[in-house]
Each structure stands twice: as C-alpha cells, then as structure tokens.
Amino acid sequence: MSRAFVKEDGEAEQFREWHEQERRLEEWLAIQKKKLAVLESDPKAGKMDQKKRSEWIEDTRADIEKTEKRLQELKKAREKSSP
C-alpha cells in the first residue's frame, strides 16, 4: 500500500476522532448550560438547600468554562492541521 494512502487514512481517522470529540463536548456543554439555567432560575431550585445549590452552580460554571476552553483548543488544533 502506498504511503500516501496510509497518511490519508491516518489523517481521516484523526479528523473523525476530533469531530466526534467536538460533538460530545458540545452536547455536554449544552447539558451543563441547561443545568445552570435551571439552578439559577427554576422556582423549584429556590426551595432546595441554598448552600448545596450555590456549590452546584459554582461547579457547573467551572465545568462550562473548562468545556468551552477544551472546545476552543480542539478547534485550533484541527485548524492547524488542515491544509
């Protein structure tokens, strides 16, 4: 098999992996943003233990920030490898 085909297959596989990872991160980010919105504004959330609610809000915001940063890094890496 030609090295060119092997290289193309490797690049295609890497692209698919990046794309799949990006899709999973975007789905997770959407879930976390929805969770944060519920924690911040749902009337039922106001009835829960406020200390626990504050901790969850803080944790969720941190996770959103971390996920957004990872998505940016992934997109930059993909752009650098594109011809």
Residue 4 has pLDDT above 90, yes or no: no
Q: If you average pLDDT over residues 19-33, what whole number do you get? A: 96
26-49: burial string, b at 16+ Cβ within 10 Å, e else:
eeebeebeebbeebeeeeeeeeee
Q: If you average pLDDT over residues 33-43, what whole number do you get? A: 95
Percent of the chain residues topping a pLDDT of 90: 60
Q: What residues contact 63, with CB distance under 8 A and at least 6 apart?
A: 32
Rounded to 5°, the CA angle 53-48-30 comes to: 50
Residue 46 has pLDDT above 80, yes or no: yes
Write the pLDDT tens digit of every residue in 48-82.
999 999 999 999 999 999 999 999 998 888 787 76
